[in-house]
Chain A
């Protein structure tokens, strides 16, 4: 049977489409399994980099990635907390809070020491307006460093426009407002769940 004849057969089209889809799925399955390890490794490296950025230098001596716990903070979504230890004792805890910005969710990674003082904060992910709201990124402005050293009680947790301590940006108030309230919320979570977050309620669970 000539190829042209075969091509005209009614079964040719579904078989061709099926075969192509099968090939495509096989390729995807191969690519996914071939890259899964490397992607997980790269993401762990990224996370480790950000964890290092929110903590002061030489502050911890443990591998934070290997020392995490999922903590129930009462809203149904467990909070993953990374414990920063020095010589075995917990010195602080690092976790992510989500703020509702102008363009969507803003993920802020923050480190809090055992006394509820902020050690550092970084925006991990956001979809704010480029050139306007993106000054919350450390690459664009050092605004985010303004949180370092603040505690829940010793700061006025609002942007200056609302009578608080934190600068807003020209033309963008919603974005910094969202970050400020997210970090404040993080400190409140810390205050409520201090013992669990620091892992003080049970000895060395990792």
Chain B
């Protein structure tokens, strides 16, 4: 199996996007995307864990016997996330105060186990690294998009509090789009399902048109 980098990236971002095509990891995709900044933060944290988990599993894939692979992966991922959580809390405490909420949630993100099981356990370290990065990027784009749409419709801002996550130099991202206050429903859980539904429909439509052409 020797997928080229280009295929891997295209797969992760569009053809096999974690949220829009595989439809896994929907819990964080719906729960934390109340703003573009939150979506971006969750996406970045997940990407980091996904890349490390993919590489770790690709490294040990030859000694893992198929019968116990799932418990081994679960132990690996859960320990990895816990270690990342502690290291961040200790040494990047300011970032942790913003991202901390998301990190614990990554443990239960089945997108990680899904990628580890479907890809990293069958491929070398380098492809696994690229796959983790590409899938993570696709996940980040999806979450940021959902977050931005909900934020725009629900509170009339874009990337509110981005400077808290990315540093003061990113304050230019914070936009007050309109002053209407917005529809609160979009910030509440139903808004997540509505936005996700429309985005899924949109992607299907694009894909169908592309295939028909």
Q: Which residues of A contact B (CB under 8 A)?
A: 7, 12-13, 16-17, 20-21, 24-25, 27-28, 31-32, 34-35, 38-39, 42, 45-46, 129-132, 139, 171
Q: Which residues of B contact A (CB under 8 A)?
A: 34-35, 63-65, 67-68, 71-72, 75-76, 78-79, 82-83, 86-87, 89-91, 93, 97, 154-155, 161, 184, 187-188
B87 touches A20 (CB 8 A): no
A17 touches B68 (CB 8 A): yes
Closest to A132 in B: B184
Closest to A139 in B: B161
User: Once bound together, how far apart are the Cα atoms of A12 and B97, in whole Å?
Assistant: 43
A27 touches B83 (CB 8 A): yes
**Which single member of B68, B82, B155 contacts A28 (CB below 8 Å)?**
B82
A131 touches B154 (CB 8 A): yes
A42 touches B86 (CB 8 A): no
User: Once bound together, how far apart are the Cα atoms of A27 and B84, in whole Å?
Assistant: 11
A132 touches B187 (CB 8 A): yes
B75 touches A39 (CB 8 A): no
Closest chain-A Cβ to B182's Cβ sits at a distance in Å of: 8
- Chain B residues near A139: list those with CB within 8 A: 161
Closest to A130 in B: B34
B64 touches A129 (CB 8 A): no
A129 touches B72 (CB 8 A): no
**Which single member of A12, A35, A39 contacts B65 (CB below 8 Å)?**
A12
User: Once bound together, how far apart are the Cα atoms of A13 and B82, in whole Å?
Assistant: 25
Closest chain-B Cβ to A42's Cβ sits at a distance in Å of: 4
11 cross-chain CB contacts under 8 A = A13-B65, A13-B67, A16-B65, A16-B72, A17-B72, A24-B75, A24-B76, A27-B79, A31-B86, A35-B91, A39-B89
